[in-house]
């Protein structure tokens, strides 16, 4: 008898008031026994959807590695000039853009999280607006601003009488700026809630002990914020690694990996190379996420 | 002397701020805050200026940019929008239908799962939760290529919906999961102990409490699905083409005013959705996006 009651209490997810219940409350008891099953049942649609649209396709992509054509393509992608260049371009550009956007986002995220001022909601709204812009739209905006007849070159011509930055949207610098454009909103919106959770007393305590701002930043802020900063870096990195629309609009004299996938697939129907490039992209994104966010879901 | 057992005093005196007057300290802090706020507005300007310039373009005269290749809208009128409607109405319809399918399915699949992860954990639920987040860090084109390799025979609209679901369900799980974490877990057992059945608890407690997060998730799924390009462009066919894919065609084939008009049509539903998200629940929204 006692052991049964104990078992019931153990099964109950929130032990609290359970022991007060009358012993003849059978429907509730039945529901309790079904707890494990009901949770699994609620997740069934999710599991089926994930299996169908994510894991089956991805495991198929992975399985091509073990075919002859697939492994040859992977070797080709990792060794040959053009494909490897596109991968390296993507990786370097994504690391650089993620790092700079993280740096640019620190102050806005801090201001939004810790300060109170008029127009704060507007500021947050303006910064979050480009959050869901598709890549082509960001590419178009880059052309509008930095294209051959873009707003910035026109303004500079008006001010200085010289041709400056005209067509810079189509250079590596233009692509980099466009990456920053869609990463900064992401980074700010990710950092803000984490910054809000940092207790302010720690900084005040460090200040009262005479720490200068630089050492408060290095010894108090950075260690506490490090997990959020790493996770944000991983998010920005994989967002730019997978960004295809921006490159489709802007990349002219160089190539990045997602664009190369598209070119190989539609231009040369070179499925195995496209698959191998996708595999490397997916693996890099996945690794960055695991290593930097520590598998935090 | 007792003092000799104490460590030697530091060579340097504590830094200058200690000696600074209170007024000076406050003014440095205030000016620092002012600079930080100004820098934040500069970041906002960097993000908003291109949208303003592009929007202004939609109302400009296309003759200014050379030949009128399409339509003949008098400058300053809405004519270009009708032109875009007439050419790209079909893909606007596809995007609208896609959103109408993806939003309810993402909620119906994601919200119960989020509830199970927080309230009815079972063996393997942690693994499933992590697995549901993986698509967020998966390049869209990689998913599109593998979807075409395995399910390429399915109707393209179904494939588009499937791809969008992969990217939107995790957002629902996060937003609803965060809302559940901040809601007292004892309320539901309390209602059960007072005799409420499982449906009554869901109807009168769980769903009302989660309503803001459900609305925010729906809006979030809407904006993401409406703007998704990376996976959709490859999955699209001429008959099932989402509006962002059509945008790419206008950007490469049409004059600047037409492209700008198409951009504004794209933004038209996004801006109110984002405003609503901020108004209803900025916090679950921002936490929902958190990695």
One domain for residues A31 and A164: no
**Residue at A219 is within a domain:** yes
Could you list the residue range(s) of the whole structural domain that residue A7 is in? 1-12+23-66
B83 token code pair: 């032109």
Q: Cβ separation of B186 and A14 shorter than 8 Å?
A: yes
Summarised one tens digit per residue, pLDDT across range B78-137 is 677 878 888 888 899 999 999 999 999 999 999 999 999 988 888 888 899 989 988 888
pLDDT given for residue A93 in this prediction: 92
Residue A134 and residue A115: Cα distance in Å, rounded? 31
**Residue at B61 is within a domain:** no
CATH of the domain at B93: 1.10.3720.10
Nearest-CA distance from A291 to chain B in Å? 12
**Per mean pLDDT, which of A185-189, B28-32, B254-258 is the most reliable?**
A185-189
**Residue at A252 is within a domain:** yes
One domain for residues A231 and A100: yes
Of A42, A105, A142, the CB nearest to B120: A42
Task: Please report the sign of the dihedral spanned by the C-alpha atoms of residue B201, residue B203, residue B204, residue B205.
Answer: positive
In the block, residue with structure tokens 């996060």: B174
One domain for residues A89 and A217: yes
**Residue at B183 is within a domain:** yes
Q: Cβ separation of B192 and A28 shorter than 8 Å?
A: yes
Residue in chain B closest to A130 (alpha carbons) equals: B47
Residue B172 and residue B110: Cα distance in Å, rounded? 6
Q: How many domains would you assign to chain B?
A: 1
One domain for residues A89 and A165: yes
**Residues of B in Cβ contact (< 8 Å) with A60:** 146, 149-150
* Complex prediction ipTM: 0.79
The stretch B168-192 carries a mean pLDDT of 86
pLDDT given for residue A1 in this prediction: 39
One domain for residues A89 and A236: yes
A237 token code pair: 């990195």
CATH of the domain at A147: 1.10.3720.10
One domain for residues A174 and A258: yes
Q: Cβ separation of B122 and A139 shorter than 8 Å?
A: no
**Residue at B49 is within a domain:** no
Nearest-CA distance from A266 to chain B in Å? 9
Q: What does pLDDT average to in each consecutive run of 10 residues of chain A (297 residues)?
A: 42 42 47 66 91 91 84 82 87 94 92 85 88 87 86 86 81 90 90 84 83 80 88 89 88 84 83 86 87 63
One domain for residues A37 and A89: no
Residue B237 and residue B160: Cα distance in Å, rounded? 10
**Residue at B101 is within a domain:** yes
One domain for residues A50 and A136: no
Could you list the residue range(s) of the whole structural domain that residue B104 is in? 86-288
**Residue at A141 is within a domain:** yes
**Residue at A191 is within a domain:** yes
Q: How many domains would you assign to chain A?
A: 2
One domain for residues A94 and A226: yes
pLDDT given for residue A12 in this prediction: 42
Q: Cβ separation of A132 and B226 shorter than 8 Å?
A: yes
pLDDT given for residue B69 in this prediction: 53
pLDDT given for residue B4 in this prediction: 43
**Residue at A52 is within a domain:** yes
Average pLDDT value for chain B:
81
One domain for residues A32 and A139: no
Local structure of residue A132 (DSSP, 8 states) = G
**Residue at B200 is within a domain:** yes
Q: Cβ separation of A111 and B289 shorter than 8 Å?
A: no
DSSP chain B: -GGGGSPPPPSSPSPGGGGS-HHHHHHHHHHHHHHHHHHHHHHHHHHHHHHHHHHHHTTS-GGGGSS--S--PPTTSSHHHHHHHHHHHHHHHHHHHHHHHHHHHHHHHHHHHHHHHHHS--TTHHHHHHHHHGGGGS-HHHHHHHHHHHHTTS-HHHHHHHHHHHHHHHHHHHHHHHHHHTS-TTHHHHHHHTT--HHHHIIIIIHHHHHHHHHHHHHHHHHHHHH--TTHHHH--SSS--HHHHHHHHHHHS-HHHHHHHHHHHHHHHHHHHHHHHHHHHHHHHHHT--
One domain for residues A62 and A86: no
**Residue at B72 is within a domain:** no
């Amino acid at each position: 008898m006692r052991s049964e009651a104990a078992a019931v209490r153990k099964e109950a997810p929130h032990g609290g008031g359970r022991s007060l219940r009358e012993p003849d409350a059978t429907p509730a008891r039945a529901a309790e026994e079904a707890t494990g099953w009901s949770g699994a049942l609620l997740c069934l649609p999710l599991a089926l959807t994930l299996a169908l649209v994510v894991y089956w396709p991805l495991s198929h992509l992975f399985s091509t590695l073990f075919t002859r054509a697939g492994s040859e393509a992977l070797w080709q992608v990792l060794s040959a000039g053009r494909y490897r260049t596109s991968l390296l371009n993507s990786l370097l550009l994504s690391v650089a853009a993620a790092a700079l956007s993280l740096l640019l986002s620190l102050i806005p995220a801090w201001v939004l999280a810790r300060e109170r001022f008029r127009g704060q909601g507007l500021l947050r709204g303006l910064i979050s607006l480009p959050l869901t812009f598709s890549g082509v739209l960001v590419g178009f905006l880059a052309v509008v601003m930095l294209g051959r007849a873009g707003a910035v070159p026109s303004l500079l011509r008006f001010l200085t009488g010289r041709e400056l930055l005209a067509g810079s949207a189509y250079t590596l610098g233009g692509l980099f700026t466009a990456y920053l454009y869609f990463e900064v909103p992401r980074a700010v919106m990710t950092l803000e809630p984490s910054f809000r959770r940092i207790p302010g007393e720690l900084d005040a305590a460090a200040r009262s002990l005479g720490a200068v701002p630089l050492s408060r930043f290095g010894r108090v802020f950075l260690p506490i914020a490090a997990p959020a900063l790493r996770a944000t870096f991983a998010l920005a990195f994989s967002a730019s690694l997978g960004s295809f629309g921006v490159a489709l609009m802007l990349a002219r004299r160089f190539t990045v990996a997602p664009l190369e996938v598209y070119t190989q697939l539609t231009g040369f129907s070179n499925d195995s190379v496209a698959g191998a490039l996708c595999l490397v992209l997916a693996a890099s994104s996945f690794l960055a996420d695991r290593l930097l966010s520590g598998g935090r879901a | 002397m007792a003092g000799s057992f104490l460590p030697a005093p530091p060579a340097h005196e504590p830094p200058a701020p200690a000696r600074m007057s209170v007024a000076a300290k406050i003014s440095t802090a205030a000016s620092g805050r002012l600079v930080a706020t100004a820098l934040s507005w500069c970041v906002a300007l960097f993000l908003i200026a291109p949208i303003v310039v592009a929007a202004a373009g939609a109302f400009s005269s296309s003759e200014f940019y050379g030949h009128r290749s399409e339509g003949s809208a008098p400058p300053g009128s809405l004519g270009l929008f009708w032109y875009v409607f007439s050419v790209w109405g079909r893909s606007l319809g596809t995007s609208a239908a896609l959103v109408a399918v993806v939003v309810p399915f993402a909620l119906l699949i994601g919200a119960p799962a989020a509830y199970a992860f927080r309230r009815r954990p079972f063996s393997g639920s942690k693994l499933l939760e992590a697995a549901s987040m993986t698509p967020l860090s998966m390049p869209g084109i990689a998913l599109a290529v593998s979807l075409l390799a395995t399910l390429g025979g399915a109707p393209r609209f179904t494939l588009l919906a499937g791809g969008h679901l992969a990217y939107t369900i995790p957002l629902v799980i996060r937003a609803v999961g965060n809302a559940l974490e901040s809601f007292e877990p004892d309320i539901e057992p309390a209602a059960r102990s007072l005799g409420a059945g499982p449906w009554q608890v869901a109807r009168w407690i769980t769903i009302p409490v989660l309503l803001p997060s459900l609305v925010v998730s729906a809006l979030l799924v809407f904006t993401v699905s409406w703007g998704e390009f990376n996976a959709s462009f490859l999955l699209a066919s001429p008959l099932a083409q989402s509006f962002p894919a059509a945008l790419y065609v206008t950007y490469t084939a049409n004059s600047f005013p037409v492209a700008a008009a198409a951009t504004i049509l794209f933004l038209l539903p996004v801006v109110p959705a984002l405003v609503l998200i901020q108004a209803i629940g900025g916090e679950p929204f921002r936490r929902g996006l958190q990695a």
